[in-house]
């Protein structure tokens, strides 16, 4: 609608008041800014149109409708319900829209959920379905959950399912929520997060506890420190003192009985090695061997 005023701002305020909307909810186009003349003036004219206010579900449907041409499909999204959760059905040409194990339709559901929850404080679930695929898949997952729960109880071990998206993991948890024999929990990181079914009669195998981890060997010896080798006070290694420099007829390696204690071995007395005294000291006098000893000790012809 077109509105007039002496100025552009006055024309906008007049139009918003008449339409009963705020400036954020309106699309404003200035048709003529107006001008003043010598005699009189030309009023300003603006065109104001209320913006289309879409619900969360309608916003998600419009997003999918704009996305499908880029995917090469002629599927048409239709908003089925928007009460507790937003449900969108895909109709028309839906070939290849589900994908292997529902990978394509799961991705579309995640994107639609992100668009629908823009500006919301509390997250609202969005379900994108095609030809009752969700209903059939949910029934399959519920049967699988009951079957694997019975197996976990029978063998007494934890059973891990294949990685699933949050929507399918929620189905597994809800299917076994009232089962008194097992508990469920999600483990791992996205996108490889999976559900683990744990029986309450979990058996211990190979030293593992009910949580699947190896347990301790009890409290015995837990507080005792681990030690290696000899424990106790370390005794000092015995030290042997060398003989004093004033010891006569020794060079520090003498085994003389009259020498320093600790250097005695057996009954051997005398020198071992050469004299290591000071160079300025006179060499000890050595007795000349007798002629008899010379002939007796060094005659090679005598035996």
Matching residue, tokens 């005659």: 299
Whether residue 8 contacts residue 33, with contact meaning beta carbons closer than 8 Å, is answered with yes
What is the pLDDT tens value at each position of the chain, 303 positions in all? Answer: 788 788 888 888 888 888 787 887 788 888 888 777 767 778 888 888 887 788 899 999 999 999 999 988 889 999 999 888 999 999 988 888 888 888 899 999 999 999 999 988 889 999 999 988 989 999 999 999 999 999 999 999 999 999 998 889 999 999 999 999 999 999 999 889 999 999 998 877 554 555 555 544 444 444 444 555 555 566 666 665 655 555 444 444 444 444 445 444 455 444 444 444 444 545 555 555 554 444 444 444 444
**What is d(CA 81, CA 87) in angstroms, rounded to the nearest whole number?**
5
- 51 HSE (CA, 13 A, CB side): 11
- Please tell me the predicted confidence (pLDDT) of residue 32: 82
Helix, strand or coil, per DSSP, at residue 172: helix
Which fold, 134-199? Answer: Ribosomal Protein S8; Chain: A, domain 1 (3.30.1370)
CA angle 33, 34, 37 (to 5 degrees): 150
Q: What contacts 26, CB < 8 A, 6 or more positions away?
A: 15, 16, 19, 48, 49, 50, 51
Domain ranges across the chain: 2-50, 56-131, 134-199
pLDDT value at residue 250: 44
Rg (CA), the chain: 51
Q: Which residues, in sequence order, are bridge partners of residue 199? A: 182
Pick the CATH number of 56-131 from 3.40.50.300, 3.50.30.40, 1.10.3720.10, 3.30.300.20: 3.30.300.20
pLDDT at 172: 95
The sign one gets for the Cα dihedral 204, 210, 212, 216 is negative
Q: In the prediction, which pLDDT does 162 show?
A: 92
């Amino acid at each position: 609608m077109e509105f007039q005023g002496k100025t552009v701002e006055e024309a906008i305020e007049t139009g918003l008041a008449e339409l009963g909307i705020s400036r954020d909810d309106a699309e404003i186009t200035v048709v003529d800014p107006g001008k003043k003349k010598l005699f009189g003036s030309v009023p300003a004219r603006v065109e104001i149109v209320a913006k289309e206010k879409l619900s969360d579900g309608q916003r998600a449907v419009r997003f999918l409708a704009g996305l499908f041409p880029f995917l090469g499909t002629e599927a048409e999204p239709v908003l089925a319900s928007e009460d507790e959760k937003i449900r969108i059905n895909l109709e028309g040409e839906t070939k290849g829209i589900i994908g292997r194990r529902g990978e394509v339709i799961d991705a579309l559901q995640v994107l639609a959920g992100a668009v629908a929850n823009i500006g919301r404080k509390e997250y609202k679930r969005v379900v994108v379905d095609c030809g009752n695929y969700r209903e059939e898949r949910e029934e399959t997952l519920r049967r699988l959950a009951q079957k694997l729960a019975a197996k976990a109880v029978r063998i007494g071990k934890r059973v891990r399912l294949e990685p699933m998206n949050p929507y399918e993991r929620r189905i597994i948890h809800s299917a076994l929520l009232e089962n008194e024999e097992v508990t469920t929990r999600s483990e791992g990181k996205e996108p490889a997060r999976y559900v683990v079914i744990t029986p309450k009669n979990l058996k211990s195998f190979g030293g593992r506890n009910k949580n699947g981890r190896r347990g301790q060997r009890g409290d015995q010896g837990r507080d005792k420190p681990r030690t290696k080798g000899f424990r106790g006070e370390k005794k000092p290694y015995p030290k042997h003192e060398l003989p004093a420099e004033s010891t006569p007829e020794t060079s520090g390696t003498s085994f003389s009985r009259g020498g320093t204690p600790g250097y005695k071995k057996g009954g051997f007395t005398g020198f071992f090695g050469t004299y290591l005294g000071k160079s300025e000291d006179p060499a000890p006098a050595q007795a000349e061997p007798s002629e008899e000893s010379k002939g007796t000790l060094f005659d090679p012809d005598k035996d």
